[in-house]
Structure 1
């Protein structure tokens, strides 16, 4: 019996259109394997898997080649996406400014307006498992500052810098299992800054963790 993949090759040689490849046959990436490893480890910490089950599934996850190998490993675990807010989060700086920091639930879409007082979005303490975050920012007069953890990356090519400009200070290296922040909008007079934590913010976070 001729394997399906060889039938597709023969079809291409004879000019026939190949059959579409199912999702299960598609190859998985390193990032997708690491995301499953992280989910399995968290499930074990929650008591959903014992150590024997965890070890067996981790071995299968690290050697998975296709979605058919990877998907069943988390099929009996509750989805984490269900807890993600479905409505967009809207942040308005207004006259006195607005800050979203600490631990907070991150939705798939966020809209931030700098207003007169400015707006700041700090993602450094969130636990986010989304593959992407859509972030629409409007600097207006006060500007918008976005702080993301090390290992996260931002895509800012869709931004209109406006009069205040855009400062993208994020390192280009993305760690497996972290979201991509797609930034759009306009800088306005106040501008938009996308960066990692500065030294003062890092010291403050360490002090808070030691309490």
Structure 2
């Protein structure tokens, strides 16, 4: 006999639906499924009535839990990461006052997409990304100064995608690509 958690005929809760949507979005972001397939599966999940309906949309997706968020925080002073450090899939950087410098040029990046969430009050921030990386700053809001970022004219395919989001109060974010 199957338990209520495993019974495919049990009605789908909104929490189950949201979990399925997040799993699909993560699979797409990590390159496991193409855009068209994600759209089809999302439609299937959003119109599902039972757990069995959702199970067929989740078939062949990699199992696993979402990567936890790592946080680097300081009330004041400097936050600095450089050299060969392991970059988590989700990184939150929080500082009320002070400078932030993240150098990813020699870092170990194991994920095709890295999300960096900034929560900065005042002070400057500088992020150096690998030469082949692409950078997305659409999710970042700044209070006082704009972001300084000049995309590379020629980027190598296959580099990691660095998505920067969050908020900055007073200060400037400078993003540059590593020279070597």
- Which of the residues 78, 89, 92 maps onto 1:111? 92
For 1:102, the equivalent position in structure 2 comes to 83
Equivalence for 1:35: none
Runs of 4+ in 1 over 3 A off after TM superposition: none
TM-score (norm 1): 0.49
Gaps of 5+ in 1: 1-25, 28-81, 203-211
Larger-Rg structure: 1
1:130 pairs with 102, 111, 120, which one? 111
What TM-score do you get using the length of structure 2 for normalisation? 0.57
- 1:140 corresponds, among 121, 144, 155, to 121
Residue 192 of structure 1: CA displacement? 1.6
Show the counterpart of 1:87: 68
Instruction: Give the deviation of 1:187 after TM superposition.
Output: 2.5
**Structure with the higher helix share, 1 or 2:** 1
8 A contact 1:97–1:115 mirrored in 2: no
Q: What stretches of structure 2 of length at least 5 have no aligned partner?
A: 1-32, 35-63
Please report how far the alpha carbon of residue 93 of structure 1 lies from its aligned counterpart in structure 2 after TM superposition. 4.0
Q: Which residue of 1 aligns with 2:140?
A: 159
Question: Quick one: distance in 2 between partners of 1:170 and 1:114?
Answer: 26
More strand by share: 2
Cα pair distance change 1:173/1:111, threshold 3 Å: farther
Structural RMSD (CA): 2.6
- Matched with 2:175 is 194
The number of equivalent residue pairs is 118
Structure 2 match to 1:175 = 156
Distance 1:143 1:93, change over 3 A: farther
1:118 & 1:138 partners in 2: Cα distance? 12
Other-structure match for 2:52: none
**Partner-residue secondary structure (3-state), 1:139:** strand
Of 85-94 and 95-104, the range deviating more from structure 2: 85-94
Does structure 2 conserve the Cα–Cα contact (< 8 Å) formed by 1:143 and 1:187?
no
